[in-house]
Amino acid sequence: MKFVADLHIHSKFSRATSRNMVLDSLAPWAKVKGISLLATGDFTHPEWLFLMKEKLEPMGNGFLRLKNGAAALEAPPFKGLPVLSRDIAFILSSELSFIYSKGGKVRKIHVMLLAPDFESVERVNSRLQAVGNLVSDGRPILGLDVRLFCRMVADTAPRCVVIPAHIWTPWFSLFGANSGFDAIEECFEEMTPSIFALETGLSSDPPMNRRLSALDRFTLVSNSDAHSPSKIGREANVFDTEFSYRGLIDALRTNDPSKFLSTVEFFPEEGKYHFDGHRKCGIVSSPRESLKTADLCPKCGKRLTIGVLHRVEELADREPGEGRPGGVPFKNLIPLNEIIAEAVGKTAESQGVWDLYFRFIREFGDEHAILTEVPVADLARLSPDRIAAAVDRVRKGQVRIIPGHDGEYGAIRIFGEEAEADSSPSQLSLF
């Protein structure tokens, strides 16, 4: 079965998340986005776990579904959308933050955890309660070496899967410039063989990761890490395998392109930490430019926030464009509401943009299909303005982006003098 999966989101119980990150909102948004399998997020939080048990039921394949089906989904802006008749499944998931000292340095590592059933979740949570406070945040902060956590999971719930999250983010990740490691083995030691997949994060894409030959044996996954429902699916994974927990994990473990078809990626330049920078001083810097100032802000003299591209350059043993052949394909896309906003000259969260967005959903089914499959000529029938042309340009990579830096997303330009001047359909250019 072919399906699109987003394996990393958060609930309303995580910090800095929308109050609408609840199951009755997540389900219709997943359908609109074209997601068939969606992470629950935050299963370590007791109240969220209680709500999940109240509202979800096992499907018999390691996934869950809403007990009330589509009954709670008939509300604006979803009312009457044909896509609501589709099925949506959930997979138990959580993200955990580990802060500890190792090798004379404070480490801050985030990992995802996937689970096949509530029983496994209960066993993991029972052990974690002795380590830290699971109530304060949907993404708990634990003072435990992540290596020991992996050992605990292997002993307590062996069918659960640990995946290092957004592995290049400067502040909280496996390879983060500020608190990460230089090699996976340094972090996980004897538990390294239990790690078979890595989440690339919004500010990197597969070609950047494949510049490290040490990552060749790992499956690269991409997920939204959504904190609000409309962000679901901005990065995702496309599978063609048995629709079950076992089938999913097998596809991830084997990295078989016949089962793991592709990933949906941000243009990495749009991510919040792609370039180096100092937001307070308005400084955006490429790795080469940062080297000229010894990684210091040229305005205030403080250390720049070192971005993902810089960190990749530090650890890479291959040149850009080099990498192991035969990997899982990927597509760089921009969320549909952002494309519409650029085409009509409005902000991405404006009501006018969302009205147009749901016109397209009503006509063509879901966002993933619109961005990847629906012929441009068909889109143009509904859109006499520049929206269809904008989708076409995004598919061809004919966009320009002011790179994200120091926690600020990159700015996209699909049209305009600079973007129009780029006639190469396969090249992404930067300001």
Q: Whose structure tokens read 């598919």?
A: 395
Beta partners for residue 39, in sequence order: 91
Quote the pLDDT of residue 73.
Answer: 53
Quote the pLDDT of residue 74.
Answer: 59
Strands 89-102 and 37-39: parallel
Quote the pLDDT of residue 69.
Answer: 61
Distances (CA, A) of 167 to 109, 200, 255: 9, 6, 18
Query: Residue 353's Cα: distance from chain center in Å?
Result: 23
| φ, ψ for residue 96, nearest 5 deg | -130, 145
3-state SS assignment for residue 30: helix
- Helices 118-128 + 146-156 axis angle, to 10: 140
Quote the pLDDT of residue 139.
Answer: 98
Beta-carbon-side half-sphere exposure of residue 146 (alpha carbons within 13 Å) = 33
Q: Are residues 165 and 98 in contact, defined by beta-carbon separation less than 8 angstroms?
A: no
Number of Cβ within a 10 Å radius of residue 309 = 24
Query: Residue 423's Cα: distance from chain center in Å?
Result: 30
Quote the pLDDT of residue 306.
Answer: 97
d(CA 91, CA 35): 12
Quote the pLDDT of residue 425.
Answer: 35
Number of Cβ within a 10 Å radius of residue 30 = 26
Residues in the chain with pLDDT values less than 70: 69-74, 384, 417-431
d(CA 349, CA 21): 17
Helices (H), 231-373: 245-254, 287-292, 308-315, 336-344, 351-364, 367-372
- Helices 351-364 + 336-344 axis angle, to 10: 120
d(CA 427, CA 431): 13
Q: What is the DSSP string of 96-132?
A: EEEEEEETTEEEEEEEEEEESSHHHHHHHHHHHTTTS
Number of Cβ within a 10 Å radius of residue 411 = 14
Tell me: the pLDDT tens digits for 21-43?
A: 999 999 999 999 999 999 999 99
Q: Are residues 347 and 353 in contact, defined by beta-carbon separation less than 8 angstroms?
A: yes
Q: Are residues 146 and 188 in contact, defined by beta-carbon separation less than 8 angstroms?
A: yes
CA dihedral 123, 109, 194, 328 (to 10 degrees): 120
d(CA 121, CA 136): 18
